[in-house]
Amino acid sequence: MARRPINTKALNDKIVKSGKEFNDALIAQIEAVAAEADGACREAAFGLYTKLVEGVPKDTARAAAGFNINPEPSEWVPPPGDYKGQLQAASQKAQDSLNSIPVGGKMTISNNIEYLADLENGHSQKQAPNGFIAIALRNFTAHLQKKTEELRRKKIGV
């Protein structure tokens, strides 16, 4: 997910001598803003994925392994079993999937475990915080708001 920083100041300060140079500078500025926003969204999406995996109770870790990131909602459900030793690989798979989504593409986090709503409502022997998904989503929203403000302060037009 490491992306090369974009020197938006140099783009903003560029003096152009023709309509073509102006057009090229404008396109470069738009691409810079899009790349910055996309990077912030990817960082936030993976942060949300991580908080969801960390927050879910882990009797067998099946519910944690059920979280995935794709361009579209996934229908996949991990079969019954013990997934405790597989969460690192699942996290790497989610990161790889996120990296394969084109810049500006839709990022969807899904989980089709049939008892996920019960876990969200606190029904677990290994108690998760009641509303762990809602808590993660609130933190996600706050993170995106913070990133948006950072981008605004950089004066790149977000």
pLDDT higher than threshold 90 for residue 138: yes
What pLDDT, on a 0 to 100 scale, did the predictor assign at position 16?
76
- Res 10 pLDDT > 50: yes
Q: Among 15-19, 34-38, 136-140, 144-148, whose mean pLDDT is lowest?
A: 15-19
Cross-strand bridge partners of residue 110? 68
pLDDT single digits (tens) 20-36? 988 888 888 888 888 88
- Tell me the backbone φ, ψ of residue 68, rounded to 5 degrees: -150, 160
Distance CA 154, CA 134 (A): 30
**Amino acid found at 60:** T
CB 1 within 8 A of CB 107: no
83 in Cβ contact with 90 (< 8 Å): yes
pLDDT score, position 59: 85
pLDDT score recorded for residue 108: 96
Residue 37 has which token pair? 């926003």
* Per-residue pLDDT tens digits for 52-103: 999 998 889 999 999 999 999 999 999 999 999 999 999 999 999 999 999 8
Residue that the structure tokens 């944690």 belong to: 64
The pLDDT value recorded for residue 152 is 79
Nearest to 56 by CA among 108, 115, 139: 115
CA-CA distance, 10 to 30, in Å (whole number)?
Answer: 14
Which pLDDT score is estimated for 4?
Answer: 54
Based on DSSP, count helices (H) and strands (E) in the chain, helices before strands. Answer: 6, 2
In terms of Cβ atoms closer than 10 Å to its own Cβ (0-12, 13-18, 19+), residue 62 is: buried
